[in-house]
């Protein structure tokens, strides 16, 4: 079994294997290429992103700098906005839905290292060869999610549709649809309801109104 197949099946794998190092080296170099561009170089940026990620929907924009680990394991939906310093350590697959917005310094991590210190240093493979190993769990973020500044999404987490994750949160467990969640560790504070509409905040809306007078 190839090391990348082991990742996708949730098994221990060797991050230092030459095949995996080649993927990461290519992506890390492309990250540097992207981060060296100017913001107005939209076509150049789009072409670099197409080489980095597995897929990205139309109308998406990433401010930069960016830090993808594998890149090819990340799939981003339509009209995504990622602010400064987006970091995606996508050993396992990362899926981001349509119409999501990320604040500055959002980090998504999928790998997990053994808890026992000696196993983090070295384990023996099936043939008795010593190796540094870890494993990974996928992250899924639904449609219409807003992640505030400095949010960390940990391995194996699913965030449902229509969620808001408060700034500085560390998401270690699944978050159900239409939830406002925050904290370290992140927990659901309350559901998001029609009462959260800006139409009930006229002093802030200052003449703006919802496109559709109906809630999610």
> Could you give the residue ranges of the DSSP H alpha helices within the chain?
3-8, 18-35, 42-52, 117-121, 202-205
Distance, CA of 94 to CA of 90 (rounded, Å): 6
For the chain, the C-alpha Rg in angstroms (whole number) is: 19
Which residues are annotated as catalytic?
113
**Burial group, residue 106, by CB count within 10 angstroms (0-12, 13-18, 19+):** buried
Which phi and psi (to 5°) does residue 121 adopt? -75, -55
Pair of tokens at residue 69: 């680990």
> Could you give the residue ranges of the DSSP H alpha helices within 36-104?
42-52
Residues comprising the chain, all counted: 216
Q: Are 147 and 106 in contact (CB under 8 A)?
A: yes
Centroid of chain to Cα 186? 16
Centroid of chain to Cα 72? 13
């Amino acid at each position: 079994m190839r090391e990348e197949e082991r990742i996708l099946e949730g098994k221990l794998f060797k991050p230092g294997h030459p095949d995996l190092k080649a993927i990461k080296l290519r992506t890390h170099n492309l990250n540097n290429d992207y981060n060296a561009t100017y913001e107005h170089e939209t076509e150049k940026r789009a072409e670099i992103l197409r080489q980095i990620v597995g897929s990205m929907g139309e109308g998406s924009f990433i401010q930069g700098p960016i830090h993808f680990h594998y890149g090819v394991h990340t799939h981003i939906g339509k009209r995504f906005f990622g602010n400064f310093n987006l970091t995606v350590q996508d050993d396992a697959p990362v899926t981001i839905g349509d119409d999501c917005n990320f604040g500055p310094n959002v980090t998504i991590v999928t790998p997990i290292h053994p808890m026992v210190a000696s196993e983090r240093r070295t384990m023996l493979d099936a043939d008795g060869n010593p190796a540094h190993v870890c494993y990974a769990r996928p992250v899924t973020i639904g449609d219409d999610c807003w992640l505030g500044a400095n949010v960390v999404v940990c391995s194996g987490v699913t965030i449902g549709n229509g969620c808001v994750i408060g700034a500085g949160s560390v998401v270690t467990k699944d978050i159900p649809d239409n939830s406002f969640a925050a904290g370290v560790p992140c927990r659901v504070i309350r559901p998001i309801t029609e009462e959260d509409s800006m139409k009930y905040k006229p002093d802030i809306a200052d003449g703006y109104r919802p496109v559709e007078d109906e809630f999610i």
